[in-house]
Amino acid sequence: MSGNLKAFLDTIAVSEIGRWLLSHSDNGYNVIVGGGLFHDYKDHPRQVVEVKPGLHSTAAGRYQILSRYFEAYKSQLDLPDFSPASQDAIAVEMIRECHALPDIEAGHFEVAIAKCKSRWASLPGAGYGQHENQLTALRAAYEDAGGVVA
C-alpha cells in the first residue's frame, strides 16, 4: 500500500472516529458509532445505535462501515471476518469505487475527498445531516500521516 493511500485511510479514520478515540481503542478498528467498543472481529458487531433523535446507525470499525454494506463487501471481496485487514480492504474498495485512487496517488487530496464524500458522512460536503469535518483539519491529518499533496 502506498504512503498516500495509507495516509488517506488514516485521514478517514481521524474524520470518522477522531484522534482521541483512535488512541483509546484498537486504532479505531473496534469502535462502534457513538464511541462504544466491540472485542470480537469474527463478524460486524451489528449494533444499532441512536446517533441522534430519529437517526439510527450500525456503523462500526475504523471506517464506520454499516452492517448492510459489510455483508455486500464480505461477499464481493471474499472476506473471512471484520478484522483490521478486512476493514482496510473494504475502505480501499470504497475509495476505488469512487474513482479516487488515482487522485490519492497523484496527491490530489481535495479532489479525492470530494469524490469520497458520498461514502463517509464526516467528510466535507457529505450532506448526511451529521457532523462534517473541515477540509483544512483533514488535510493536516493527511500530512501528519505522511501524505503528500501535489
CA 88-90-92 angle, to 5 degrees, is 70
Is 16 an annotated catalytic residue? Answer: yes
Q: Which residues have a Cβ under 8 Å from the Cβ of 85 and sit 6 or more positions away? A: none
H/E stretch holding 21 reads: helix 19-23
C-alpha cell at 119: 461514502
Paired residues of 36 in beta bridges: 32
Other Cβ atoms closer than 10 A to 45? 23
How far apart CA 139 and CA 147 sit, in angstroms, is 9
Active-site residue among 16, 50, 71, 93? 16
Catalytic residues: 16
